[in-house]
Structure 1
């Protein structure tokens, strides 16, 4: 306790010092392994002492005011950076007379380092304020600090159910509030920076159960619900275990953040993992282990939360009459229930019967709480697929071939059954990947992929996927694609190539479930090659017939192509909501179409470049003639480089003809369009070549807030360039106007190119935590020197690279831009100003300059 002093400033300084010392002592005890829930209680007692002492110093004796702790402080949970919520209970006249003393009290607490937030109300005003259920929530946890029993009783009476919110109405309001709160976090805790307090499965969900227990039954802890028959002993133990785990995370987070923070942000994850004693090993980073623990805790809290809310509803509304479904199942208030207690525990096949019955009735709200609890009790006895007889495995396969197979897998995963049946899936449940490419845990990403596949199966066209709904009906056995999606990332976190490990797991699973060799081989190949199409489309030139021929050779047949295309679309779109865009959709659709044609023609008859050129030129002519734009098109064709007919689609060529014909010959030709939707722009530039032109183009686009996804740089006749860029707004909330981009770019290219410099931008916070050592390689190929670059992505990166190339007087002949989360993987084909390959000294100087640019902050 701080020493007694007379002056407020001296008291506040002493109190602040004492509180700092106390918090430091608690932090040491935390680091030594003392339970966080004990420390929050001790911190509450320490703050109680200061608050009461400040109150006594400021309030005259005999004043009819009472002081209560409310909210988390009233509950006795004060974390290092928690709010200090207070209620001063007094009648209006007493409030007015006490205003100076109350102001002094609050100021004294703030000076002492306690950011108190007092509400001053009479009993009647508490009743009025409690019309807001969030206010009532804080008040029902009120704990007297300086109050007589009569005053505490008056407060309880003011917010009693007959005056504010009956228990049933309070339950309804809290369920709605929780649903809205979960929706703010995408209805999942399995994202990269979860909120451990307010997110799904976080501490707030546990608090809500406590509030409902208090309002409904007058009990202050969930343990008491066991005696009332609303909570099983096993459920109470699980909730208490996860509450302690979440409390430890939150306490540690407050310590490493040094401020009020409830999100496990990248800034703190590694620091917190180290503080909690996690260490890296060959399979996982320390931070990944910590996050996996959180995700698993949140999943358990959500499961039991769902069950208990259902029991609260039944307490108020009654169980209703059961409607028999068959000999084993019935409906209770719209929920699926087993008819015989313990039935799920008798035979693993019964668990699959439960999910089959659930899938067959789309009107069911879910599992009845008692059946869900019985399923949780049955989990330890559910064997792995390898340990059961073939009839049980057949029951699982029947689920994949039955109604709503993806919903079945999602339910089995959420309830823990899938991890028991496929132990490898349990290993990736809750496993995060510490990067920006994957925004979900491995299991949640897998479920997102399966949901995308279910959307393809619906037959409804999705504007995000231009041909997926047309490809799906060609699948011979759709369940094979679901299995490939289920296994495609299952090998992650075990060291080695996850595609190879997953392929081995997939084959073992398929053979155990008696799939034919042809089906097994297809699933194994899809898992092993699930990245092939993505890498080919994004990192190679799919307008090159040789690229298409090599890819078609790997795919080998149309069925594999269709399965792989759908899996690739679902995989990319399920990795991050921001990762899929019109450009990727068009790339994959074009690759699918070109490969299908190559397979139809036969791999023994590869398309020659001249044949491809003739086909594209003829197709472009047909498009222009059909629209009445064929006048003088042959003259415009003559101004195009030969490779443009090889590497462009007919619709692109026709568009370029229209742009070139409408533009004056003595000025830069600039065309801009939305080729497939509103996600990205295609920018076409034709003008006389000048040194540093590529850099000027990239920098000008960068200064307009447009990031380059792909660049095709061609040399045209008579010393001209013929460049095409696919760009996307860096701020995807802003849709640029194509005419404005066209005007600004033409203006920039008409001026002094050397004056264009990259814009200065700050590095986004999240990119600072993912450092990739820059990698550069130089390869001499026909046409120049190819530069391969791997580094951290950041705003303005390509503009900085282009600036360096300009400073070294290099010409850029081609560019492939690919970004995977925080990782940029770019390819450039360059030559010196005489169109020669780079000499060793030039490569060394360029390497040093590029590394310096990559390592520095954005310009």
Structure 2
């Protein structure tokens, strides 16, 4: 028996052995050791260290426990350690298996074993159980069951282990339906927690959808259904086809290599693939990228291709393990009807008769016709039929579609039904690649920024899904969608609208050419081809106009209407725009943006119907203005202020109800009558999840600097500006509105916090010669902000002098940071640039700010040298370090 003094020495020896072993294995890994062999080497290293601790624990217990009792014990590895699938810093799940008679011996061994293995540096999940306890706990807890399916005897009594595992495997086979369901539910819950892979910008290579855990899911389902967890065994049992076996093996090798890489880099158990690491690994693994595609996007495209394959194989394998009751099958068959000589349809499913299934599955037109029928009648395609189609399409040589296939596909696109889910199936089978060749290039293509949360192909199908969801929407979008007589063209446009991405050229230009190729391939009419190309080419037009321009300006609406040309195209474009935005990701399309889109639509439609532009012959607005003036007159407000009502910008008139507008104008009027300084008021805006501040002041001689001082004041208060509208009422009155995010509002009473902010704003504006407010220093925890290495898009500063003769549109696109708007506006002020109108839009890490600007004398900024000076100064302001 080892003395107590030798215990620290053993722990140190084991810890050193573990660290040295990891170092040697890392060197071999860097030299090209395959990922599976790396995992095996790491498992052997763990086994070696654990055996020494195990033997020492047995020896220490032998003085007080009978050798016959110790000989009945078994040390069992399970989970990843059990299947010999470790990464460098993986934990080790261990179970001390005991009989009832050796329970006391097990307790004594466990007390020293757990302490020593922890001291040695292995994160260990440990339990002591009898075979009966193992099974009882496994049937009640899916987490325990799934881990025990991959048990391996490390050391100890082989008979004890065999009795346990034989009993466990037999019990699992008897309960296979229940256990498979529980395993699937546990995996689904974990996936929801960690997110869908094709959505996440920072996937978890183990737990996200399509990751290593879904390969394990196949093993778990295979254990209960076939008694085996090894993918190779499942393949030999014909439970896993050669194609699916190959897909899982390749994905496992790729993702295991990636997991090893993450562990070795961080020297800890790290499974999250964040964006800086994506960049580093893409470079280290030798990804070169290609024209229009960054190396990191190339790397992630490979990653998503593997996770997609795993996802599909796991889904089909699960369907194979499901046992449908004979009664349900009989009801489906008895109540079915014949669609044609090959197809039958029941209450819930549609299928192809078994005697013609092999021939049917090889015909692309027939397969597309079946899918179209399933969509039209809202039926699911029976699993045996899907499996036959899947196998046939995997073996089918890719060829251009013939006319019957094209006709069947266009028929499919007409019905909303289950269109999106069926398109995903077609994409999985690579049928979409054959119908639309450009789809193959975008398969799994990631745009490396925080705005686009889905791969290009996934986003396009989600856009179709967003549109088809309008069929049941009880709102204006739903009514517009239902009015479309032929929805196929819209669905086709959404399906291909972003396939021009991944090229150096603007994706809308490339997309227009792709749309032309698709139209020719599908033999669309000349009119439909023109509409399809126009819709793809202009699919960002509504966003550009609604979010970046003054919709009260007649020239803006007139130019937009001229681009669109008709009400029918306007409605197509609007539905396309909204579906596209909804498909980008959660919270991209908020109430504010939807309001701007609707505003633009109504103004353009009114122009098409009446020929009137904003402000022309709008009886409702004229009536509102008169009501406001009469009410303010009754309140005996200064007549000069009452006259401001007729000069109110349309945005302010439309934004408020008559009563709210009267109240706000009265408040402003009273303030300006009694105070020489600015008016500032705030209110919580629940619809925007923000605080809206209204700031009004007489401009006087100050032509520049007001906007800069307001943004600096907000920044000094720790506010983040989400959006802003800057307007001028009459010749002299500035009327600005800001929607801000205020982190302190949750800890403060809104009224007192708003008063505090307004004091800072009024102090900054009422004394224009005072020192500019200093931005508040923002303390950020590690990981709360991504490093600059992932900010790959260049800052853009654009000048537009074509839209207006009297002012310049300055657009700025860059990554957001604290106090950025304050620095931008301060820079413009220093350069004597007058801001006449502004629209500020921030989403996640990016901003798109638009300013209508002039020189001090009111002229547009047309001089190229002055533009370059402004551009360089703004770029420098963006690069300014955060205090």
Give the TM-score category using the shorter length: 0.7 to 0.9
The CA deviation string for residues 296-348 of structure 1, in whole angstroms up to 9 with x for no partner, is 22222222222221221228979944725433234699654321341234422
Q: Show the counterpart of 2:791.
A: 770
In 1, Cα distance between the equivalents of 2:422 and 2:744?
Answer: 35
Tell me which moved more, 247-256 or 206-215.
247-256
2:687 aligned to which of 662, 677, 693: 677
Selected match of 2:814 from 791, 806, 811 = 791
> Of 59, 68, 77, which aligns to 2:76?
68
Give the deviation of 1:567 after TM superposition: 0.8
Measure how far apart 1:590 and its partner are: 0.9
Q: Equivalent residue for 1:747? A: 759
Unmatched 5+ stretches in structure 2: 766-770
**Matched residue, 1:822:** 845
Mapped pair 1:547 → 2:556: yes
Deviations 1:755-786 (A, max 9, x none): 74323225643464224444456789988887
TM-score (norm: length of structure 2): 0.85
Worse overlay, 488-497 or 41-50: 488-497
1:416 to 1:837, Cα distance in 2 relative to 1, 3 A:
closer
1:640 aligned counterpart, secondary structure: helix
- 1:687 partnered with 2:686: no
Work out whether 1:621 is the aligned partner of 2:625: yes
Confirm or deny: 8 A CA contact 2:837 2:852 kept in the other structure.
yes
Preserved CA contact (<8 Å) 2:714 2:761: no
1:662 aligns with 2:667: yes
Match runs of 1:291-306 below 5 Å = 291-306=300-315
Partner of 1:464: none
1:452 aligns with 2:466: yes
What per-residue deviation string (whole Å, max 9, x for no partner) do you get for residues 343-398 of structure 1? 2344221111220232234253x4414632432432452655xx343233212212
Contact preservation (8 Å) 1:771, 1:792: no
Match of 1:761 among 778, 781, 795: 778
Deviation at 1:94?
Answer: 6.0
Candidates 368, 386, 392, aligned match of 1:377: 392
**TM-fit CA distance, 1:615:** 6.1
Matched, 1:312 2:329: no
Would the alpha carbon gap of residues 788 and 487 (structure 1) be closer, same or farther in structure 2, given more than 3 Å must change? closer
In structure 2, relative to structure 1, the CA distance for the partners of 1:342 and 1:165 (3 Å cut) is: closer
One of 411, 434, 453 as aligned partner of 1:420: 434
Structural mapping, 1:334-353, within 5 Å: 335-339=349-353, 340-353=356-369
Shift of 1:696: 4.2
Find the aligned partners of 1:249 and 1:225 in 2 and give their Cα distance: 25
Q: Does 1:29 align with 2:32?
A: no
Structure 2: distance between partners of 1:850 and 1:272: 33
2:126 match:
118
Q: How much does 1:401 deviate?
A: 2.3
Aligned to 1:45: 44
2: CA distance between counterparts of 1:510 and 1:616?
Answer: 45
Q: CA deviation at 1:266?
A: 0.8
Aligned counterpart, 2:269:
260
CA distance, structure 2, for counterparts of residue 678 and residue 626 of structure 1:
32
Cα deviation, 1:490-544, whole Å, max 9, x if unaligned, reads 1211332221222222222223323221111111100011111111222222221
d(CA) in 2 for partners of 1:369 and 1:833? 75
Q: Give the equivalent residue in structure 2 for 1:356.
A: 372
Structure 1 position 656, deviation (Å): 3.8
Q: 1:184 to 1:803 in 2, by over 3 A?
A: same
Question: Which segment drifts farther, 618-627 or 554-563?
Answer: 618-627
Q: Show CA shifts across 1:227-251 (max 9, x none).
A: 4443333332332233223322322
> Which residue of the other structure, out of 493, 496, 515, is the alignment partner of 2:505?
496
Offset, 1:804: 5.1
Of residues 251-260 and 264-273 in structure 1, the stretch that sits farther from structure 2 once superposed is 251-260
1:594 aligned partner: 603
Of the three residues 398, 411, 424, the one matched with 1:398 is 411
Query: Deviations along 1:463-501, whole A, 9 cap, x unmatched?
Result: xxxx32233244352221111111211121133222122
| 1:832 positional shift | 8.5
Which residue number corresponds to residue 878 of structure 2?
Answer: 854
Is 1:86 aligned to residue 74 of structure 2?
no
Change (3 A) 1:766 1:579: farther
Equivalent pairs counted in the alignment come to 841
RMSD: 4.0
TM-score, normalisation: structure 1: 0.87
Equivalent of 1:129, from 106, 115, 137? 137
Q: Give the deviation of 1:644 after TM superposition.
A: 3.3
Aligned 8 A contact 2:97 2:128 in 1: yes
SS at match of 2:814: strand
Q: CA deviation at 1:458?
A: 2.9
Check the 8 A contact 1:382/1:420 in 2, yes or no: no
Given that 1:713 and 1:722 are in contact with CA atoms closer than 8 Å, whether structure 2 keeps it comes out as yes
